[in-house]
Chain A
Amino acid sequence: MTFMTMRSARLTVAERQVKPTVRLFLGLLTWLIVLVFFFPVLWMVITGFKSETDASTSTPHAIFTPTFSQFSAEWNGSGNTSMRTYVEHSLLVSLVSTVIVLVLALPAAYALSIRPVPKWRDVLFFFISTKMLPIVGAIIPLYVIASPAHLDILDTQRLLVILYTAMNLPLAVWMLRSFLLEVPPEVVEASRADGAGVLRQMWSIILPIARPGVAATMLICFIFAWNEFFLAVNLTTTRAATVPIYLGSVIQPEGTFIAHLSAAATIACFPVLLAGWTAQDKLVRGLSMGAVK
């Protein structure tokens, strides 16, 4: 992607025409707007380092002694009082579903790009059309099928893994397809002529070339699974409850919880911010399902 690499520090003709004062103003304006958008995230992190007394004030305490006590409290409880249990659930569900998505989506993307099946366009649009159907249209049967009367997998990690795989699969197919299109066809053709099967081509030719794209796809699937709330809140209670569910439980009608909430929310957002910042040059491509390179 070109916009990752800053164009040379040389100003364009247009920018040189703009007066230095105007340039300075526009620069400051940019900083101001970006900081306003970033503020809630910043505020969340800062408040996580406060004590409850410093956090629950109507006049924000600008100067305070940073403390890790909120973070360690999140981590050290036991069982369902500890955020760690939920983080483990979320990690497991997100990672496993991401791996399954990849295993299913890579061959599909291959069959839609490198050696396209007849009517590949229709297949692609079938995949994207499932993303357009509202998830509420499926939640009731999902609940009934998963309930004890039928499959009895309510509140299990298996259920979330299946559903998150279904949720991310169309996205991954589209995204991977756009990356596989960049693999030079001659290279694949040569290995095929050499007798390599699909798996062999995939493993030794395509994957090494498309690795950055595959990594970006995995990060985006991970982000979506990690952040998912609607399915988790309706289909899990304790045994498989994920981080977003834990966050909701932090709220207490009585007493102070703002620092507690901030620390938990910071922990919840940290892996995804890290993943997103790492993959930011590929982010737009993934989010646009491969339409924008």
Chain B
Amino acid sequence: MSVTVTIDPLPAGVKRPEPITTNRGRAIKSWARRAPLGPALVFTIVATQIPFLLTLWYSLQNYQLNYPLRPRNFPTLANYRTVFKDHVFRVAVVNTIQLTAIPVILSVVFGVGIAILLNRHVFGRGFLRTLIISPFLVMSTAAALVWKYEILDTTFGVLNYALKQVGIKPENWAGVHPQITIISFLTWQWTPFMVLLALAGLQSQGDDLLEAARVDGANAWRIFRSMTLPHLRQYIELGVLLGSIYVVQAFDSIYIITKGGPSTDTTNLPYYIYEMAFTGSFDVGRASAMSVVVVVATIIIATLALRVVSSLFSDEGMAGR
């Protein structure tokens, strides 16, 4: 894309404005520089920080949506005591870790593998890349419903039909293996994202260097281990970081496929907080206390993660490395 810009010289006799040098002028200039940032910054602070402060405030009250007139006993730490004694909360923490770590790791492994295959001269490569990103694009609610009722279903599921052909008995997959079901779904959803990242990484790797190594007699595995993988490392780190941010909040698939169950087998923290606040007891105070614990834990983990990512988000991005 090329753009031609013509700079009109100032008409004769018109003086260029004097450069502003006074203190007041400098202040105006520096605020003028900041002004474009204002609306976005104010909006983000209001829309994201105020709710969190309110969560903190509610967490110190005995506040149930069903009983708005009950005394709130502000401030109280009762909610926090309940949360830390709550057996299900601990289960939800473990579930959240499992339902985040396993899908992220699996999707990175599959993503890198598929990217390597797609980086070759395969017939219809552009078409295949278009197909592989689809699971990531489709509405997760729609995908979860299709998985539940059309693929995993005991009677109508196409998976059971396929397994029957090789002699495996029909099974209610989501009921018997709820965790594996959710992990598979999340892996299916996130692998395309990792494919895209890994492909970007592979494409930024210089062909000449690889060919030189090959001419020198290095075999494929050696080249992968000592050249491709180190080059991809940054991209993999980024994938793990961004994948974790989103997968840890997984809600749609759990809400639709397993409802957190059977029992609490797939209850992760987002789903448990949702249950606590909006179903059954409508216990806002306790749900808020749980949210605060989650947010604090997230801040700790995110601070560590940000340290990694700030080296990734350098001024130039990763292009051309």
Known contacts A14-B210, A30-B122, A293-B319; is A37 also within 8 Å of B249 by CB?
A: no
Q: Report, as a range, how many residues of chain B touch the other chain.
A: 35 or more
Interface size on A, residues (CB 8 A): 121
Known A13-B211, A41-B134, A291-B312; contact A108-B117, beta-carbon cutoff 8 A: no
- In the complex, which of the residues B128, B146, B215, B287 contacts A13, with contact meaning CB atoms closer than 8 Å? B215
Name the contact of A262 in the complex, choosing from B30, B37, B150 (C-beta under 8 A).
B150
Note all chain A residues with C-beta closer than 8 A to B36.
Answer: 107-108, 110-111, 198
B3 within 8 A of A: yes
Q: B40 near A: Cβ within 8 Å?
A: yes
Interface centre among A111, A149, A162, A226 (most CB of B within 10 A): A111
Which A-chain residue is minimally distant from B283 (CB atoms)? A140
Q: Which residue of A lies closest to B47 (CB)?
A: A166
Do most interface residues of chain B lie in helix, strand or loop, or is the interface mixed?
Answer: helix
Across the interface, B1 reaches (CB within 8 A) one of A60, A166, A209, namely: A209
Tell me if A43 and B158 are in contact (CB < 8 A): yes
- Given known A-B contacts A108-B37, A166-B47, A194-B8, A138 and B117 have beta carbons under 8 A apart: no
**With A60-B161, A140-B288, A291-B318 known to touch, is A258 a contact of B150 (CB < 8 Å)?**
yes
Q: Which of A17, A111, A190 contacts B37 (CB 8 A)?
A: A111
Query: Is the CB–CB distance between A291 and B141 below 8 Å?
Result: no
Whether A112 lies near B37 (C-beta < 8 A) is yes
Count of CB-CB pairs between chains A and B under 8 Å: 348
A93 vs B135: C-alpha distance when bound (angstroms): 23
* Cα(A265)–Cα(B140), bound, Å: 10
Which chain B residues lie closer than 8 Å to A33 at the CB level? 114, 117
Q: Is the CB of B114 within 8 A of A34?
A: yes
Is the pair B142, A137 in contact by a Cβ cutoff of 8 Å? no
Cβ 8 A contact of B318, one of A12, A34, A125, A292: A292
Contact present for B128 and A30 (CB under 8 Å): yes
Chain A CB within 8 A of B52 CB: yes
Q: In the bound complex, do residue B3 and residue A187 qualify as a contact, i.e. CB atoms below 8 Å apart?
A: yes
Q: Could you mark each residue 140-172 of chain B with 1 if its beta carbon is under 8 Å from any beta carbon of chain A, else 0?
A: 111101110111000110101100000000000
A166–B50 alpha-carbon span in the complex (Å): 12
Chain B nearest Cβ from A149, distance in angstroms = 8
Q: Please determine whether A227 and B139 come into contact, CB atoms closer than 8 angstroms.
A: yes
Please pick, from B130, B220, B251, the residue contacting A277 in the complex, using a CB distance under 8 A: B130
Task: Choose from B200, B235, B313 the contact partner of A1 (Cβ within 8 Å).
Answer: B200
Using a CB-CB cutoff of 8 Å, which residues 141-163 of chain A contact chain B?
141-145, 149, 162-163
Given the complex, which residues of A lie within 8 Å of B3, measured CB to CB? 187, 205, 208-209
* Complex partner residue of A15 from B120, B133, B150, B201, CB under 8 angstroms: B120
Asked if B135 and A41 make an inter-chain contact with CB atoms under 8 angstroms apart, the answer reads yes
Any chain A CB within 8 A of the CB of B188? yes
Minimum CB–CB distance for A201 against chain B, Å: 10
A229 and B256 CA atoms in complex are apart in Å by 11
Contact B139 A226 (CB under 8 A): yes
A283 vs B136: C-alpha distance in the bound complex, in angstroms? 11
Known interface pairs A136-B294, A258-B156; A229-B52 also in contact (CB < 8 Å): no
Residue of A nearest to B278 (CB): A234
Q: In the assembled complex, which residues on chain A have CB atoms less than 8 Å from the CB atom of B295? A: 133-134, 137
> Interface 1/0s, chain A 222-233, versus B by CB < 8 A?
010011011001
Given contacts A38-B135, A41-B138, A123-B41, contact A56 B156 (CB under 8 A): yes
Give the distance in Å from the alpha carbon of A56 to the alpha carbon of B199 in the complex.
39
User: Of B1, B124, B133, which contacts A280 at CB under 8 A?
Assistant: B133
| Chain B residues within an 8 Å CB radius of A128 | 306, 309
A293 and B134 form a contact (CB under 8 A): no
Name the interface residues of A2-23: CB closer than 8 Å to any CB of B: 2-3, 6-7, 9, 11-15, 17
CB of B311, distance to nearest CB on chain A (Å): 11
Interface flag for A131 (CB, 8 Å): yes
CB distance from B167 to the nearest CB of A (A): 16
A175 to chain B, nearest CB (A): 11
A132–B196 contact, CB under 8 A? no
Chain B contacts for A234, CB-based, 8 A: 274, 278
Q: Are A26 and B117 in contact (CB under 8 A)?
A: yes
* Residues A117 and B141 in contact in the complex (CB < 8 Å), given A30-B118, A58-B160, A209-B3: no
Contacts of A136 in B (CB 8 A): 249, 251, 269-270, 273-274, 291, 294
Separation of A133 and B245 alpha carbons in the complex (Å): 8
Given the interface pairs A111-B33, A258-B149, the reply to whether A31 lies near B200 with Cβ below 8 Å is no
- In A250-283, the 8 Å CB interface with B consists of 250-251, 257-258, 261-262, 264-265, 268-269, 272-273, 275-277, 280, 283
Task: List B contacts of A79 (CB < 8 A).
Answer: none
For A115, what are the chain B residues with a Cβ–Cβ distance below 8 Å?
A: 33
B299: which A residues are within 8 A, CB to CB?
132-133
Contact: B302 with A269, CB < 8 Å?
A: no
> Which 10 pairs show the lowest CB-CB distances between chains A and B?
A107-B36, A166-B47, A141-B54, A293-B319, A108-B40, A138-B51, A3-B203, A265-B142, A276-B137, A244-B141
Question: Can you report 13 A-B residue pairs in the complex whose CB atoms are below 8 A from each other?
Answer: A11-B121, A47-B150, A108-B39, A111-B35, A111-B36, A138-B51, A141-B50, A141-B52, A191-B5, A247-B142, A251-B149, A284-B199, A287-B193
Interface residues of B (CB under 8 A from A): 1, 3, 5, 7-8, 17, 30, 33-37, 39-41, 43-44, 47-52, 54-55, 58, 68, 114, 117-118, 120-126, 128-143, 145-147, 149-151, 155-156, 158, 160-161, 188, 191-193, 196-197, 199-204, 207, 210-211, 214-215, 220, 235, 238, 242, 245, 248-249, 251-252, 255-256, 269-270, 273-274, 277-278, 284, 287-288, 291-292, 294-295, 298-299, 302, 305-306, 309-310, 312-313, 317-320
